[in-house]
Chain A
Amino acid sequence: MRSSIIIIAAVVAAGLSSSALAQDAYVVGITAALTGPPASTYAPAVDAMRIYLDRVNAKGGINGKKINLVIQDDSAEPSKAAANAKKLITQDNVMLLIDASLSSTYAPVVAEAKSDGVPLLFASSVCPKDVYPPAAEGEFCTTAFASTYDSRGALAFVKETAKEPVKIGFSAMAIPLSRGEMEFAAKQAPELGMTALGIEVIPPPTPDYTPFATKIKDAGANWVFSWAPWVTQVRTFEALRRLGWSGDYIAWAHLEAEGELKRIKDSRLYVIGANAMFDDNLPIQKEIAEAVKQAGSKYPPEQMTEGWIAGMVIEAALKGAGWPAAPAKIQASMQNLKVDLKGLRGGAIEWTKDNHFRTKQYYRVYRWDGSKVALVKNWFSYDVK
């Protein structure tokens, strides 16, 4: 409650005073799915960014200047995201725009950012192919999950783990990147010796996932791979279990994954992700937990990693841009950036002129082992080319 009030107050205050502050602060704008079906994946990340940047401000800011964070809710709707992007760029004069929403919001937000020459960071929202080499000039991504690489990692794990011939079904949300990724995975699976069954594309939100799960079960799947917002992944899984399906299920480790593995307690539910879970007990995780507690956030610390990483990268990018800042200077800074993530991921985030994603994409796989969330497969990586 307190953090939400702070966010709203920040939004209102920013709306009233951003023009005045623009001259004297780094203005960063966010369009985010703070409400709507997939909000549980994005809202904690935005809160983490806010907490991180508030801490930076409390320590004196960057290059002696504060960061003015302007947050707009788009409810995961493309039309609202477009309006937000326009408002943030033309009225708030943001120097850096962040999209923390569904992939269906990307096209209009990219168009707005591109036409005004403002660098665009995808943070907590899936990395689009445009950030892979050769990267689109003004687009960058810190998010753990990334199209095509995630499917390769997940399918490689399935192949390695399965003890019998794999008949794999797929579950996607009816949004462009989720569907595209599952189509990619369905094409990859046969190359790895698996039988690819159909893709269930599930509209958000649906009151009952059982009809979709019934179809997957009837197709004879012994594995299911889902790469979609958490709500689609977990509800499909739970519907399958209620139907008596006893196969293995692998899903993307979104922010909610750690808590959800503890809630569901099913040892055949695997999550593959690029962020370390809080059971690692790293010093930086303790720091995050402490900051979250102090800020009074309603979200648990284990859901903050994604936003925290984005905060670290934003801080480094603004620091590199110096003062006075301008979108072009920030973009130039982002094109030559390396941020040590202190163990939150398998490696650093490193951007060059051609690569706005990372040079290596690392993965880990976790599951519930009967008493705790356990590591099934430690960091493995793919070179990003």
Chain B
Amino acid sequence: MQLLVNIVVLAAIYALIACGYVLIYRVSRVLNLAHGELMMLGAYLLLATASSFAASPLLAVAAAVGLSLLVGILVYVVLIRRMTGEAVLAAVLTTVALGILLRGVMVLVWSAQQQYPGQALGIDNPALVLPGGARISVMAAMLVGATALTYGGLFWFLRFGRWGVRMRAVGQNPLLAAQRGINLHAIYALAWGLSTLTGSIAGMLIALDSGLTSSMPIVALKAFPAALVGGLDSLVGSLAGSFIIAATEVLSIQYIDPLLSDVVPFLVLIAMLMLRPWGLFGTREELDRV
């Protein structure tokens, strides 16, 4: 039972991070390689708001969530929008540069020390005992819940929401969508905002669960295979991919060798790329290179 809980928690972490990659790629075909840094920025924003609103944890979390959404939108408006008309690779390289810049700035502002936003907010993180004797921390349980809510919300938004339908339209055919009067820049900015928001929520909950260090972006890198295995333009795929990667990782720790846990996600990714390069639920696209 504990093994299953471990898999679910890790899958929830990866899924919450991976949906950020998917949202941006699905809409604009840009791979956001600064997603890990933006996720960490969300966690540090919580640390900052925690010191400003120490008496009101809910207000601190709400402020950090709002700021994260704003940061995502600003990244698009200030940086990525300027890549309009350029090759996709230019935008991807811009995200690499943004990631390096953010990492440096965050270390300068908040230092390399391990930080504990939960302590700053006075939030305890006790363990809950589940049926079967398995245990899960409150924050890990909230992370699983947040992932379920996020995916549920995104599915609803993309299926029934006016802006969600527009987002899908832009993802499928931006030229046609623009001709129908959809504001492409507004849609892209929204996608960046939502992506940063979901990543930041993951960062905040990981930080509340086990602390915050400047190495958090590497966690996001481990979620990347999950998005690719599921299909980079599919939310269902990122859920499935996250579960597969988490399961192989946890099972390899338990039954083979803990060291393999670092390698296994990439072995699964390589296997998937050989068999089905577009992922389990991804869209098969035309080759633009032979």
Tell whether, in the assembled complex, residue A210 and residue B6 are in contact, meaning their CB atoms are under 8 Å apart: yes
Smallest beta-carbon distance A105→chain B, Å = 16
Q: Which of A204, A231, A299 contacts B111 (CB 8 A)?
A: A299
Tell whether, in the assembled complex, residue A298 and residue B9 are in contact, meaning their CB atoms are under 8 Å apart: no
CA distance A201 to B262 in the complex (A): 11
B215 cross-chain contacts in A, Cβ below 8 A: 36-37, 39, 204-205, 231
A214 cross-chain contacts in B, Cβ below 8 A: 2-3, 6, 254
Tell whether, in the assembled complex, residue A211 and residue B261 are in contact, meaning their CB atoms are under 8 Å apart: yes
Query: Which residue of A is nearest B210, CB measured?
Result: A235
Q: Which of B10, B111, B113, B135 contacts A243 (CB 8 A)?
A: B135
A227 proximal to B (CB < 8 A): no
CA distance A202 to B249 in the complex (A): 12
Query: Which residue of B is nearest A37, CB measured?
Result: B215
B259 proximal to A (CB < 8 A): yes
A112 cross-chain contacts in B, Cβ below 8 A: none
A223 proximal to B (CB < 8 A): no
Tell whether, in the assembled complex, residue B127 and residue A207 are in contact, meaning their CB atoms are under 8 Å apart: no
B interface bracket (residues with beta carbon within 8 Å of A): 35 or more
B274 proximal to A (CB < 8 A): no
A242 cross-chain contacts in B, Cβ below 8 A: 125, 127, 135-137
Tell whether, in the assembled complex, residue A207 and residue B253 are in contact, meaning their CB atoms are under 8 Å apart: no
Q: Which of B41-49, B73-81, B101-109 contacts A (4 or more CB under 8 A)?
A: B101-109
Q: Which of A40, A201, A208, A234 contacts B9 (CB 8 A)?
A: A208
Q: Which of A39, A174, A201 contacts B214 (CB 8 A)?
A: A39
Smallest beta-carbon distance B216→chain A, Å = 7
Tell whether, in the assembled complex, residue B111 and residue A298 are in contact, meaning their CB atoms are under 8 Å apart: yes
Q: When A212-B258, A243-B2, A243-B127 are in contact, do A263 and B119 touch as well, CB less than 8 Å?
A: yes
Query: Which residue of A is nearest B254, CB measured?
Result: A215
A384 proximal to B (CB < 8 A): no
A327 proximal to B (CB < 8 A): no
Tell whether, in the assembled complex, residue B103 and residue A210 are in contact, meaning their CB atoms are under 8 Å apart: no
Q: Which of B113, B206, B257 contacts A43 (CB 8 A)?
A: B113
- Find the residue from B119, B136, B213, B218 having the highest chain A CB count within 10 A: B213
B222 cross-chain contacts in A, Cβ below 8 A: 207
CA distance A210 to B137 in the complex (A): 10
Tell whether, in the assembled complex, residue B219 and residue A212 are in contact, meaning their CB atoms are under 8 Å apart: no
B13 proximal to A (CB < 8 A): yes
Q: Which of A1-9, A20-28, A271-279 contacts B (4 or more CB under 8 A)?
A: A1-9
Smallest beta-carbon distance A12→chain B, Å = 13
A244 proximal to B (CB < 8 A): yes
Query: Which residue of B is nearest A46, CB measured?
Result: B112
Q: Would you give the 0/1 interface string for B105-142, flagging 1 where the beta carbon is closer than 8 Å to chain A?
A: 00111011110100100000101010000011100100
CA distance A230 to B114 in the complex (A): 9
A238 proximal to B (CB < 8 A): yes
Tell whether, in the assembled complex, residue A208 and residue B258 are in contact, meaning their CB atoms are under 8 Å apart: no
CA distance A235 to B114 in the complex (A): 11
A1 cross-chain contacts in B, Cβ below 8 A: 108-109
Tell whether, in the assembled complex, residue B107 and residue A34 are in contact, meaning their CB atoms are under 8 Å apart: yes
Tell whether, in the assembled complex, residue B135 and residue A208 are in contact, meaning their CB atoms are under 8 Å apart: no
Tell whether, in the assembled complex, residue B249 and residue A4 are in contact, meaning their CB atoms are under 8 Å apart: no
Query: Which residue of A is nearest B104, CB measured?
Result: A35
CA distance A51 to B210 in the complex (A): 31
A90 cross-chain contacts in B, Cβ below 8 A: none
Tell whether, in the assembled complex, residue B262 and residue A37 are in contact, meaning their CB atoms are under 8 Å apart: no
Q: Would you give the 0/1 interface string for B1-39, flagging 1 where the beta carbon is closer than 8 Å to chain A?
A: 011001001100110000000000000000000000000
Q: Which of A34, A205, A244 contacts B127 (CB 8 A)?
A: A244
B3 cross-chain contacts in A, Cβ below 8 A: 214
13 contacts between A and B (CB under 8 A): A4-B107, A40-B113, A40-B213, A43-B113, A201-B258, A208-B210, A231-B114, A231-B211, A234-B114, A234-B211, A242-B137, A244-B129, A256-B114
5 closest pairs, A vs B, by CB? A39-B112, A203-B262, A37-B215, A43-B112, A205-B215
